[in-house]
A = this chain, B = another copy of it.
Amino acid sequence: MSERLADGLDRRQFLTSAAFAGAGIAAWPSLLPAGDRSGVADAGAIRDRTERILAAAARPALRQELLPASPLTIERVELLKNGPHFLVRVRTSDGAEGLSVAHGRILSTVYPHFVSVVAPLFVGMDARRVEENVEAVYRTPSHYKWQGLAFWACVAAVELAMLDLIGKVTSRSLTDYFGDGRVTDQIAVYRASGTRGNAPEEEVDFFRQQIEEIGARAIKYRLGARMHYDEASTRRDRALIPLMRDAFPDVTLYADANSSYDVPTAIEIAHLMEQYDYAFLEEPVAFDHYDETRAVTSRVAIPIAGGEQEFSLRHFLWQIDHEVLDLVQPDIFYFGGMTRSLRVGRGAQAVGMTCTPHISGEGLGFLYAVLLAASMPNAGPYHEYKGVEADLPAEPIGGTFIPENGILRVPTGPGLGFRLDPDFLARAEIVR
């Protein structure tokens, strides 16, 4: 390394490696390609703000001092299936186990990729080095080409099982490990509607029932027509925005446009939402239209949220850096797991931005989001609650899975903090 340093080629990479060396974690090269800033500062590639965001995201996501002293060598990574549910079990050569509930719908169509490509890559790795393992799998030999839902949801399921394993071996909740440790024991939740095209009054009725059921103090509903809008959807949008405020005067209101609008329409809708004191507008224009999203964000007062479809860590940090979004929402499954999502949160935190992990309603997504949010100082005030999937016999350890007065108590049990019915697990078949 010192020879390369002498070449003046790689000073920044070296420095960061050195900073991480004490923690036993290698530098995170995917965030450190920019090299010595003296060489390129005038090209506009590196600014102080950028440096701050990249450095925050490059910090180890897990508290290294809490990791077990001995290696947790992965001997087996199994994909199990029971009904529509997919489970991932990681076993060490010492017989320790970690278990996660995967994203069933995604695994149901890409399981051969999990079994034949992703799972074998983790065998032989030391599960303590979660972040390096995920990074190595992404890079080696060319899996980075697979970046996207199919790949990251497979990797996330293994990452979650590795995290569960670490927590179980040390009898610690993962909330102790993330970031600088747990910052809260309670997470306030919001409820979301997945419906479009119904009458505004029906949507109000739906939320009345939801609020009664779990006491949520925040709700999110859908605007536009998903990836487009039309006259009918815009009519509904314009009716719904004031109507929801009338119906729920004391509730925090969010809305998700799922990439529906063009810029002028998004701005108009955003201004209407401002009049009625909404707290964020999610994905106003096509998710991969950065300039257009920024055009909206820069012209409205209401915070613009997004990131569900972002698969690249660098792109996420770029969006933070260039103020494309006001609030970032990495999806724990789609984005490849909790540690990668925490890195996005850290990058956001570096510039005072909020992060609300996104969940996609499969597996135990809401639980993973709760655990992560409980350790993020810049987590949003409310997190989406979807509950345990039907027929999945999972229970919390030392916390709650059903909100009371809109609040979940964060599980305190080891690892992911849940217990799966042993019979359910025993009846699951290994997917080959």
Contacts and interface: CB of A to CB of B under 8 A. Distances in A.
Nearest to A322: B291
A3 interface: yes
A2 to B, nearest CB: 11
A432 interface: no
A263 to B, nearest CB: 5
B43 A294 contact: yes
Interface string A253-294: 000001101111101100000000000000001111111101
A285 B117 CA distance: 26
Contacts of A29: 227-228
A313 to B, nearest CB: 8
A286 to B, nearest CB: 5
Given A113-B109, A148-B148, A39 B286 contact: no
Given A112-B111, A314-B288, A295 B148 contact: no
A295 B150 contact: no
B108 A295 contact: no
Interface stretch (A71-79, A136-144, A336-344): A136-144
B150 A150 contact: yes
A214 interface: no
A265 B145 contact: no
A80 to B, nearest CB: 17
A409 to B, nearest CB: 31
A111, A289, A334: which has the most chain B beta carbons within 10 Å?
A: A289
A32, A108, A228, A288: which has the most chain B beta carbons within 10 Å?
A: A288
A110 interface: yes
How many copies of the shown chain assemble into the complex?
A: 2
A267 B199 CA distance: 58
Nearest to A30: B286
A10 interface: yes
B263 A147 contact: no
B286 A40 contact: no
Interface in A16-37: 29-30, 32-36
A142 to B, nearest CB: 7
A361 to B, nearest CB: 12
Contact of A33 (B141, B148, B285): B285
A9 interface: yes
Contact of A44 (B150, B228, B291): B291
A110 B110 CA distance: 5
A147 B294 CA distance: 22
A295 B44 CA distance: 7
A264 B40 contact: yes
B264 A4 contact: no
A141 B226 contact: yes
Given A3-B231, A33-B289, A263 B149 contact: no
Contact of A112 (B109, B151, B268, B290): B109
A50, A145, A147: which has the most chain B beta carbons within 10 Å?
A: A145
Contact of A315 (B32, B227, B262, B288): B288
A248 interface: no
Contacts of A30: 227, 286
B295 A263 contact: no
Contacts of A263: 33-35, 39-40, 43, 45
Contact of A145 (B35, B43, B149): B149
Contact of A45 (B117, B292, B309): B292
A98 to B, nearest CB: 24
A4, A35, A110, A290: which has the most chain B beta carbons within 10 Å?
A: A35
Interface string A308-335: 1101101100100000000000000010
The 3 closest A-B pairs by CB, nearest first: A148-B148, A35-B262, A150-B150
21 contacts: A3-B231, A9-B264, A13-B262, A30-B227, A35-B263, A36-B264, A40-B263, A40-B292, A45-B292, A109-B110, A109-B112, A109-B113, A110-B150, A112-B112, A139-B227, A145-B334, A147-B288, A148-B149, A148-B311, A288-B314, A288-B315
